[in-house]
Chain A
Amino acid sequence: MSHENTLRVLQERFGAGGFTTSEFRDNFRVIVTPSQLYAVLECLKQACGFIMLIDITAADYLHYPDARDRFGLIYSLLNIGTGERFYVKTYVNEPDLTLPSAFPLWHGADWMEREVFDMYGILFDGHPNLRRILMPEEFTAYPLRKDYPLRGRGERHNFPVITRAEG
């Protein structure tokens, strides 16, 4: 599985200096700016055959050694025909935590983006239904952020209790 072809298409489209790449084991990543993100994803889908979105996830680099950016978003793509996997990464920082939604390209992005929003508070522009998915609606924090404590902030003990008579 070679990434040269994919990389060449991206370089032709965005210029050789438009993004950086990195590689670890069999994971090949391109790191793009948030403003390029949608165009890169679209190019990968339309021109390089990455018709399947495997996963969207995020990581909070608050305590990561030598990290400069707060949140990293990772898009895992798959080319079904050749079996090639490709990873697109972008960083966002507070206060502007908005990214374009990948929903128009892959409808599978719906719940993945909702989960990232739920856990990290990153907003996806153009998502049809960006609500919390795993946490309750009235929850105010974003639990997978590194500044959120492991045992919570007492939400569990302060949930409203509905008695049988009230319900």
Chain B
Amino acid sequence: MPVEAIEPIAVEEPEKEYLWTLNFGPQHPATHTTLRLILTLDGETIVNAVPDIGYLHSGFEKLGEDLNYNQYVTIVDRMNYISPVANEIAWHHVVEKLLGIELTPRCKYIRTLFAELMRLHDHLLCIGAAALDLGGFTAFLYAFYQRELIYDMCETASGQRFHPSYTRVGGLMYDVDDAFVQKVRSFVNGFPKAYHDIVRLLNRNRIFIERTRNVGVLSKEDAINLSCTGPIARASGVVRDLRKDEPYLAYKDFDFKIVCGTAGDCYARYLVRMEEMLESLQIVDQAIENLPGGPVNVDSQSKVVLPEQLSTYRSIESMIQHFELVMPNRGFEAPRDELYGAIESPNGELGFYIVSDGSERAYRARTRPPSFIHFAIFPHLIKGHQLSDVVAVLGSLNIIAAELDR
């Protein structure tokens, strides 16, 4: 019996009622940190995303007005706790710019070395966690083993693994010793193998590529208009890196390249971070092999660093200076003015705006946190993509909620 042709089901243009709302976070394994997204979904397609932040807001900038220039470093390294020393270097870079202090060559090299170790630290976490969310558990383990070695170096240099608080105005807490140099050398030798393991696991991994390529595309114009900096802007073709454009510390002495992409998608951001790690390793290698001798702190006559312990006990001038620096309502004499300074942190431009009223503490200590600026572009990147792409985009932006909320 022939089948009668039936009327095709008329596809009506449905009302917007079928859209449904999904709450993502604040505690979700794939956010990695405490942030919340309110997603409006059409099936699995994201129509709108509203970030809701502030869960970790702890008033760091208010504290910056209450603690002096040395004390605030302990708060600063809790901002982006994935690369703590980079924050400390940024903070003291701006403070030293305000006070007009020129660092010693050895201090510059050690700080540069640490800044690049922190870049490796941060990129390893970003890549490892992104791979973990996208199903590449092994790469995560390889990345985290290397991070553990960097934690060991922090411990050797400062006595603290997670929050070293390593820099001081005009210098560092301690000079580095031979054990540290040995650790860095063995890390420089061992890292390429782990790096190539990660490359072999991810770069041509079909699942990883399918889930990151053409996902979360950021054009060059949008990257500039939305204030993006760092690897995220460079993956979109913005050729800008403060290490080359405004050389600070000892970056002028080193041979390295700026890595840029053009695609602007999650895969390009991943590749930019991977290549940057090799360049950072080169800088680490050059810095550790050419480490200059001499003191690590500026001359104690400049009245910003504590005098050596022995001379504090043996000479009256040093003792007075120690007293002046340690007692409240004394200490640093800053010019009464305000300024902005920034460094290229692993995530982008990390700047501080300090308003000084001439006292030993900042009148206003504004942070320009790259995570905050980059999370603002998230709705722009995710619209029109699938629900499962949320973790890919989040992973490629490397949002650290402690820095996001401060």
A interface residues with partner B (beta carbon < 8 Å): 24-27, 51-55, 57, 59-60, 63-65, 74, 76, 80, 83, 85, 87, 106-112, 115, 119, 132-136, 143-144, 150
Contact = CB atoms under 8 A, between A and B. Distances in A.
A65 B355 CA distance: 12
Contacts of B21: none
Q: Which interface class (under 10, 10 to 19, 20 to 34, 35 or more) fits B?
A: 35 or more
Contacts of A83: 245-246
B340 A134 contact: no
Given A25-B97, A106-B225, A59 B245 contact: no
Contacts of A76: 340, 351, 353, 368
Nearest to A52: B224
B79 interface: no
Given A55-B351, A143-B62, A108 B340 contact: no
Given A25-B339, A108-B225, A134-B406, 8 more contacts: A25-B98, A51-B225, A54-B227, A54-B340, A55-B351, A57-B353, A59-B366, A133-B53
A143 B62 CA distance: 8
B240 A80 contact: yes
Nearest to A27: B339
Interface string B223-236: 01111100000000
- Of A24, A132, A143, chain B has the most CB atoms within 10 Å of the CB of A24
B54 interface: yes
Contact of A108 (B355, B373, B406): B373
**B contact patch SS:** mixed
B66 A64 contact: no
A74 B353 contact: yes
B363 A107 contact: no
A59 B364 contact: yes
A51 B59 contact: no
A108 B246 contact: no
A108 B373 CA distance: 7
Contacts of B175: none
A148 to B, nearest CB: 8
B54 A59 contact: no
B238 interface: yes
A51 B223 CA distance: 11
- Of A107, A108, A144, A150, chain B has the most CB atoms within 10 Å of the CB of A108
Contacts of A63: 357
13 contacts: A25-B98, A27-B340, A52-B225, A65-B357, A76-B351, A76-B368, A80-B224, A80-B238, A112-B227, A112-B373, A143-B62, A144-B61, A150-B63
A29 to B, nearest CB: 9
A65 B368 contact: no
B228 to A, nearest CB: 8
Contacts of B337: 24
Contacts of B195: none
B358 interface: yes
Given A53-B227, A57-B366, A87-B340, A150 B62 contact: yes
